[in-house]
Structure formats: C-alpha cells, structure tokens
Structure 1
Amino acid sequence: MGRADERVPDAGVPDASGMRAYAAAFVARVTARNRLPLDYSVASLRLVDFLVDGLRKGGADGERARETLLGLGAYVGEVLVRRAGAVWLDLDTGQRACFGQPVGVRMPDGRVWNPLGKVRNRFELGGPEESLQRFWLTLHGRVRREVA
C-alpha cells in the first residue's frame, strides 16, 4: 500500500487540448456566485495567491482541495498562455516524472513550466517564494511586448 501523500498526477487532469476549456469552466464556476476578478490578467495572480492561502489557512487538506487547486493551476497556466505567449503541452514521461503533472506550458523561448505544480507548491509550502505573482515577475521566456 502507498503512502498517504502519494497521488496519481493524471487523475482528472485534462490533456493539453482541454486545458483552456477546463480553466474557463473553473472560472465560470467560481465567479458565478462571487465577484472574484479572475480576468486572466497578470494582476489576478495576486488573487490566486490569496485564494490558495485561504484554502491552506482554512484547514483544507490536499485531497479535499485537489479540484480547486487543479482549477487554479489551469487558470495560472491560461494566464501564461494569454499574457506571455505560452502554449499548453502534454508532458513527456521524463517531464511528468520531474513535475508530477501530465501537462504544462511551453514558453516562446522553449522553456517548459509547471503552473499546476506551482499552485500545489503554494498550497503545500506557502511563503513568498511560492507566490504565483512572483512566479510571473521572475518568469523567463515571456514574449516581450512592444510599448507604444
């Protein structure tokens, strides 16, 4: 029998082609009754930090929070797609072993990032070094936008 903290990374996670729709459905579901500004903006990543911290401080265990964390990870990935020029990709066997997730995003410079795992780390470890807002600020490989 496995340890309690072991988890199957693929359970319930759509493949890369389904992540955009998954993120959109999550946003629709969580904003239907709340006025959460999940608008795919870079500024909204601070709200993601706040939401994940609230789950942790509220005493949710990882399994109970799993679906919400997956939705928030899909949302963070979709922010990278929309704002940084990333694309969703199905991770290969080695990447899955490294990241513990079946999907990630590839930046325009070819680097692969793990937004689902980053949200999970924020939940499990907390602290400013796991911030999703900081993740954006230190993110390598973004498309550089021309300022008019």
Structure 2
Amino acid sequence: MNATQVTRPHAATKPVRWAADVVAAMREGARLRLDYSASSLWRVDRTIEEVHREGAPYAAVESVLRGFGAYAGEVMVRLTGGEWWTADGDHWVRTPDGRLWDPIDEARRCYHGEGSLRLLCHDAMSIART
C-alpha cells in the first residue's frame, strides 16, 4: 500500500457502521441474529449463497455484501485483536502479526462461489494464535 494508512478510530468508522447496518437488517428482515461470533460467519456464508442462488443481480446486493464483509471484518478485529486500516477508499483488517485481510472482497468472492468469510476468519484466528 502506497497511501498513508489511518488506523482506528477513523479507519473503523465506515466498516463498523456497515456491519451494524447489516446486523440490524438481518435481524429485522431475515430474522437472522448475528452476534459477532466466529460461528455466526457460517450463517453469513449460507445467506450469501442463498442470495446468489435466488439469482439476485450483483448490483442489487453489492451494498449488502459490503456489509457482510464489514461484519466479518469486525468479527476478525474482535477475535484477533486486529484493527481496521484504510487507504484509497478500501478497508482491510490488520491482524497483530501485521497481515492484511480483505473481508469485504471476500464477501464478493463468496457471492461468486469462490470464497468463505468463515474460513477467512478461521485463517486469521489460526495465524493470530501462533
């Protein structure tokens, strides 16, 4: 990353809000309770799969996917002691070992059947423990 990086609180402002928005929307609309636990990411992966299976066009669900990615990122932050980083409008999670993770892009990959927020978080947690 070439751009100047900004850490919490500024870098976290948008993704934390996106995560809270998706938690509220899922609780009210889909009756899905998200509690910022690693196990809740299994439900998020399944929900993204269902949205894709129903044939929703990507453009129609792009902001929800961003919210799911931010939610997964916030789970990672809370469980690994990481922090949100931002540069050039993109947001990543930086774990204590210095690695950067892109849960927002991973949510997009999930929609296309190529990713898993649960596994991304699992990998980050596994590395953070070593």
Q: Say whether the fold is shared (TM-score over 0.5).
A: yes
**Residue identity (%):** 35
Residue 117 of structure 2 is aligned to residue 121 of structure 1:
no
Inter-CA distance 131–87: structure 2 relative to 1 (3 Å threshold): same
* 1:76 counterpart = 2:61: no
1:9-88 aligned at under 5 Å gives the runs 16-88=12-84
Report if the CA contact (8 A) 2:66-2:104 is conserved. Answer: yes
* RMSD after superposition: 2.2
Aligned mate of 1:108, from 84, 96, 115: 96
Is 1:131 equivalent to 2:119 in the alignment?
no
TM-score, structure 1 normalization: 0.72
**Letter paired with 2:82:** A
Q: Deviation of residue 134 (structure 1)?
A: 1.9
Give the total of aligned pairs: 120
The Cα shift of 1:136 comes to 2.3
| Structure 1 residue 131, shift from structure 2 partner | 1.9
Q: Deviation above 4 Å: which 4+ runs of structure 1? A: none
Offset of residue 132 of structure 1: 1.8
Deviation of the 1:15 alpha carbon: 5.2
Higher relative contact order (CA 8 A, sep 6+): 2
Q: Structure 2 unaligned runs (5+)?
A: 1-9
Structure 1 counterpart of 2:81, one-letter code: G
Does structure 2 retain, via aligned residues, the 8 Å contact 1:23–1:78? yes
User: Which consecutive unaligned segments of at least 5 residues does structure 1 have?
Assistant: 1-13, 94-100
